[in-house]
Structure 1
Amino acid sequence: MIRKWNLGLVYLVILVFSLFCFLPFLLVLSSSFTSEESIIAHGYNLIPHVFDTSAYHLLFLDGERILNGYKISIIVTVGGTVASLAVTSLLAYPLALKRLKLRKALNLYTLITILINGGIVPWYIVCVRYLHLQDNLFALIVPYLCQAWNVFLLRSFFQTIPDEISESAKMDGAGEYRIFCTIIAPLAKPALATVGLFIALMYWNDWWLGLTLLNRTELQPLQLLLRTIQSNVQFISTSAQGAEIIRATGGRLPSEGIKMAVCILTIGPIVFVYPFVQRFFIKGLTIGAVKG
């Protein structure tokens, strides 16, 4: 009986904590449907004082561009996550092998990329002049293919897998690629799912690559497109010319509502990724923490 009460108390605490975690999202959602005058007068509230959809109407004035931004972001996120996870894991696995002669040198070389940054100008020259990453979808994927931090996360997990497993496979005639694909990768599903989620979030939330490497508006990802719209609205709201336009139209731009609507539009799709990796995520958070 006492055990049931303790279990019920744990569930109650988790439920209350989950509600507190959900409140900020509910506040953002409610504010995106609140009129600008109501936000100025009453602040942000969980229930809108004056229900208004003008923020979404303004964002979807050019709905075709928004849908195109979604398409570009989905293509980049899916393709980039798969490619980056493949490159990252294929680098992390050799770095975890004790029998690799150049293991220490390669680990040091990978670590240097975290400690030392070449700068934006050399990076831009390499991307545009030598890799020709400009005005194409590869410009949104290739620069983030291999992140040293993710490499070390996967390497730490690969090091927890007993060497006897791969050694027995080699005795049966299996090569390194077959060992990795048929034995190591299935065992590393929690780590791969966790790192894959980090990579997907990085690609989905990125606007920097589009800003620096793209000139064609039809290739702009969703984050960059919405950031541009938000910046334009903020400029119109604060500039003298914008004030004249607002007075002439007899209305007020919902600048605060647009900020919240942008958050809802950008966070929505990526939320659906979590249920697919949830069963791996908790286990993957302990990457390298316990030797097995």
Structure 2
Amino acid sequence: MERKWSWSRGVIHGIFLVLSIAIIAPMWLVVSASFTAEEELILSGYSFFPQEFSMQGYEVILQYPVDLIRAYGVTILVTIAGTLASILLTAMTGYVLARKDFRYRRMLTFYVFFTMIFSSGLVPFYMLVTKYLHIKDTVWALIIPYLLNPFYVLIMKGFMDKLPHEMIESGKMDGAGEWRMFFQLILPLSAPALATVSLFISFAYWNDWWLGLLFIDNEQWVPLQLLLYRTMSSIEFIANNAQYVDGLVDLSKFPSMSARMALAIVGAGPMMFIFPLFRRFFVAGLTIGSLKE
């Protein structure tokens, strides 16, 4: 049936149109600035279309392609392995907390919620990773700390609370064990929540540079975001310390502003294309389970 036009619907569409433009415009400015010559950025500022097209910003950050490719490989490995392991542990924990026949579900739910509010601090966390787990300068230092997040566990629990408990009882009557019920019954029905939480987790792994800064000294395991962070620091040092680098670098032609925009594109580019693929599951996973019957 064809919907009739109304002023209220037009106002709502207009509000969302303005919000969409407010979100897209800064991203487009970043893309445009990354392809703009440094002199044009200094003289005219940012514009939505490059007045003088230039690839200088990308040439600066691609001077050492081997390091960039290796960092991309480390980040892709960490994101895929970490997301798969984390979503499995998160789903298992959320399923246990959602089981109405589990005696200690309330106590453990409070324990998970409590850890979301209070943390042990940076020093105990560093000692745990380096002195007890002994995973410093390994890929595990980039994966294990983010394996289980209490917020994602509560999201998964809220979704699984909506699944009828009668399905589990029917599975038991048919002779299915706990593992079979979880993998063949619960997980397929939790696809929207799994996709939503997986997206959150993959973003956390992809955008992380803090763990690499703390625990990675071996250049072999430097992730992409840490490499970009170091490059950004070098660009800022060159731009702010002209008296030390004069003669070594032609500062009048050095693309410090466009290079920073190019760094943002290189770091965020792949995830910008992945997010639309999971948009339908993302919305469903956030809204379902939020209302009580």
Aligned counterpart, 1:277: 278
Aligned counterpart, 1:203: 205
**Residue 283 of structure 1, CA deviation:** 0.7
Aligned counterpart, 1:3: 3
Aligned counterpart, 2:145: 143
Which stretch has the larger CA shift, 95-104 or 19-28?
19-28
Which amino acid in the other structure matches residue 26 of structure 1? W
Which amino acid in the other structure matches residue 250 of structure 2? T
Work out whether residues 235 and 242 of structure 1, in 8 Å CA contact, stay in contact via their aligned partners in 2.
no
Work out whether residues 166 and 179 of structure 1, in 8 Å CA contact, stay in contact via their aligned partners in 2.
yes
TM-score after normalising by structure 1: 0.92
Superposition RMSD in Å: 2.3
1:1-292 superposed matches below 5 A: 3=3, 13=14, 18-245=20-247, 249=250, 251-291=252-292
Aligned length: 291
Structure 2 unpaired stretches of 5+: none
**Residue 155 of structure 1, CA deviation:** 0.4
Structure 1 unpaired stretches of 5+: none
Work out whether residues 31 and 261 of structure 2, in 8 Å CA contact, stay in contact via their aligned partners in 1.
yes
Which amino acid in the other structure matches residue 180 of structure 1? F
- CA distances 1:156-186 after superposition (whole Å, capped 9, x unpaired): 1110111111111111111221111111111
Alpha-carbon distance in 2 for matches of 1:273, 1:54: 27
Q: Structure 1 pair 11/74, CA: closer, same or farther in 2 (3 Å)?
A: farther
Work out whether residues 239 and 251 of structure 2, in 8 Å CA contact, stay in contact via their aligned partners in 1.
no
TM-score after normalising by structure 2: 0.92
- CA distances 1:231-265 after superposition (whole Å, capped 9, x unpaired): 0110111014445146x636332121111101110
Alpha-carbon distance in 1 for matches of 2:200, 2:18: 27
**Residue 23 of structure 1, CA deviation:** 2.2
Give runs of ≥4 in structure 1 deviating > 6 Å. Answer: 8-12
SS of the counterpart of 1:249?
coil
SS of the counterpart of 2:63?
helix
Work out whether residues 34 and 48 of structure 1, in 8 Å CA contact, stay in contact via their aligned partners in 2.
yes
**Residue 154 of structure 1, CA deviation:** 0.3
Work out whether residues 85 and 195 of structure 1, in 8 Å CA contact, stay in contact via their aligned partners in 2.
yes
